[in-house]
Amino acid sequence: MGSEGFVWFYGVVEDRKDPLFLGRVKARCIGFHTDDKTLIPTEDLPWADIIQPVTSAAISGIGTTPTGLVEGTHVFGFFRDGHEAQEPVILGTTGGIPENISNPDRGFNDSRTIAERKNSPYPPLAIDRFNNGKPARVIEHSQAFEPTTYEFVGETPLKGGKIWFGTDQANVSHPYPENFDDDHPSAKIQASVYKRPETAGPDVEPEKANNTPLLSSQIFSRNPEENRMIFDGNGIPIMSLPSTTLLGLNRTKLKESLDRPKSSAHPQAQITLKAHRIAGVLNATQQNLHKGIQMAGHDGKYGGEWSTPPNGFNPEYPYNHVTYTESGHLIELDDTPGGERVRLLHRTQSFLEFLPDGSRIDNIVGKSYFLADADVHSHIYGDEIKHVSGAMNHVYNSRSAGPNNIFFAGDGDVNTSVKKGNYNIILKDGEMNIVAKNFRIIGTKKNESEFQIQKMIAEVGDSGKPLKQVAEEMGFDTGDFEVVSSSLGLSSTGSSKSTVGQDMEVSVLGSSTEHVDSIWGGGMKKTCRYRAVTIESQNPLRGTGGVILRSGLELIHASQLTVDGSGLEFETKLGDVTVDATVGKIELTAGTNFSLETNTEIDLKNKKGNIKIDTTGNITLKGMGSDVHTLLKKLSMALQNMTHPTPAGPSGVATNMSEIMQFDAEIDKVFQP
């Protein structure tokens, strides 16, 4: 082989289903094979081996799979057996601009029928992407064989459009599979997306004459480049841009005077790229979905927004190196000066891209999974900003590996806000410790916000800093509630109210003091509606025990009532003492002495009479229209005028008249009328 020179060939791939899975293909070679398939059918062509690059070992499963060729690929190679031409070896491929539309009935063309191609890899017709958390919807070209259609509702340039399939541009009626079988090899499918009028029904077809399609594409074209071609009125192609060339071409570099290069926009590429599913639709969809993304603020509101940066897609021929697969996967290595990028894109528009400034964009149109069998380390010098429109569900330390730590090392605040709903912290087993200089809970609704502690013991240790609760209005609604503290202070600048549904017991091991300092309001009031009020001191000793009710300060009080083991003592220094029993009676019982002492007069009265002792000691006893002074005066007068008969006639003045007169004088000293 090669001693007498190589026998070269140029051919077109017609079959790649190698039964040995070695990447071999069947190629129809120009000058060696006829295009008449009745003379040399595709199945009679010899299998051609594929030469791989030196970067592929091609042995023991090591290397790169040599499966890049497809039906219709133009290849170049030589015959290993020379002029026998039965052992072709392919060295490479070559591109070009087809002069005619592919005919699968003739050789040197893609030999697959539409029925065969619909089961082969092919880029999606369109991708519909949403902002509601649902994965992207992939609309395949094979949908043309189904009796259904699709209406775009996502955030893409096709939003509001509906797909219709037809056999050509003029006929948008939905085709049927029987129109594209082997008996109709020349049939073509046209996919068109029209904006359906809002008043039209779901099955109403568009009026093509008055409605420009949002998208128009031929499906399963006979020529892989047909979707990129422009034809004249006679159907002759006047321009073609392969996918790889199209994605690599947005500008071309021309020469000016002095051989200085000048970058100029390529007119056809500029127009076609705007409708291309990667360069056009992807970029537009990206801007629709990921712009104006809200950030969290410190006050429970949004605090600014951000958007994805422009992708910088502006390739210049020949610097963008593109690998594009038949199902629509893409790899770009763009060396365009000033626009250097790297992009790895899945056919569904999920992609990873590095921008000219080194920024990275990861966009997943479906679900994303990140898995690691060991530790994950992340170090960020800048800010970390996240916006999750759906719910959050995090599980940490499921294998009890040790303590969990969150440390905010800077001086900034940490704000957690819940716009609507509850914020729950659940500790099934363990303690919850909050260490802070000040601790404050603020209700958001006046007279409605509540603070509840259920089945808990609140303990304050001997840290030297007592617990302090400050609130405008605070309500406690609990089952069992116990507060154990070395010192406890409750302070309210507004109102404070405690409601207990059953019994309430307050135990104080030391002293207990209640102060009402305000000069406004109703003072202090304790009410028991249905039962007795008992104030009890179990220590009866005077000075240390007993019950004392006092008005005024302790040392200069106005009035005081003392009840202890020595008895009951009541004193008032500034005001009156009033005992009023309007309906009942007043009974005073003394086992020994009964003493009533005052520096002013004493006056006991009822409706019939009264007893009065004035400041000079005079006593007035009145009752039933008279008084003791008057009665005693009458008695004294009767004694002074009293006579009795004698044999000598009425007796004279009593012999003890002086004593009677003294008695009369004493009456005026003791009693008053």
* CA of residue 211 relative to chain centroid, distance: 43
Q: How confident is the model at residue 241 (pLDDT cuts 50, 70, 90)?
A: very low
Q: Report yes or no: 251 and 314 within 8 Å, Cβ to Cβ.
A: yes
**Do 225 and 242 meet the contact criterion of CB atoms below 8 Å apart?**
yes
Sheet holding 341-345, edge to edge: 320-324, 330-334, 341-345, 351-354, 360-363
Q: What does the pLDDT average to over 119-133?
A: 85
- Least confident piece of the model among 28-42, 387-401, 484-498: 484-498
pLDDT digits (tens, 9 = 90+) for 418-467: 888 888 888 888 888 888 888 778 777 777 777 666 665 555 555 555 55
Say which CATH class 8-110 falls into: mainly beta
Q: For 126-146, what is the mean pLDDT? A: 84
Cα–Cα distances (Å) from 537 to 329, 506, 507, in that order, read 91, 15, 13
The residue ranges of DSSP E strands in 573-646, in sequence order, are 602-605, 609-613, 619-623, 626-627, 645-646
The count of C-alpha atoms lying within 13 angstroms of the C-alpha of 189, restricted to the half-sphere facing its C-beta, is 26
> pLDDT tens digit string along 454-509?
665 555 555 555 555 555 555 555 556 566 666 666 666 667 777 777 787 777 77
- Domain 247-292+301-363, CATH 3.40.50.2300 — does that match? no
Q: What is the pLDDT of residue 277?
A: 54
Asked whether the domain spanning 247-292+301-363 has the same topology as the one spanning 8-110, the reply is no
Tokens representing residue 645 in the block = 């008969």
Q: Look-up: residue for tokens 């008057």? A: 630
What are the extents of the domains in the chain? 8-110, 123-219, 247-292+301-363, 595-673
Judge whether 105 and 68 are in contact, CB under 8 Å. Answer: no
263-278 exposure pattern, b = at least 16 Cβ within 10 A, e = fewer: eeebeebeebbeebbb
Nearest CA-CA partner of 88 in 47, 35, 42, 30? 47
Q: Which residues of 543-562 are buried (b: 16+ CB within 10 A; e: fewer)?
A: eeebeeeeeeeeeeeebbeb
Cβ atoms of residues 353 and 361 within 8 Å: yes
Specify the range with the lowest mean pLDDT, choosing from 87-101, 224-238, 294-308. 224-238
More confident residue, 197 or 366: 366
Higher-confidence position of 20 and 548: 20
Question: What mean pLDDT, rounded, does the chain reach?
Answer: 76
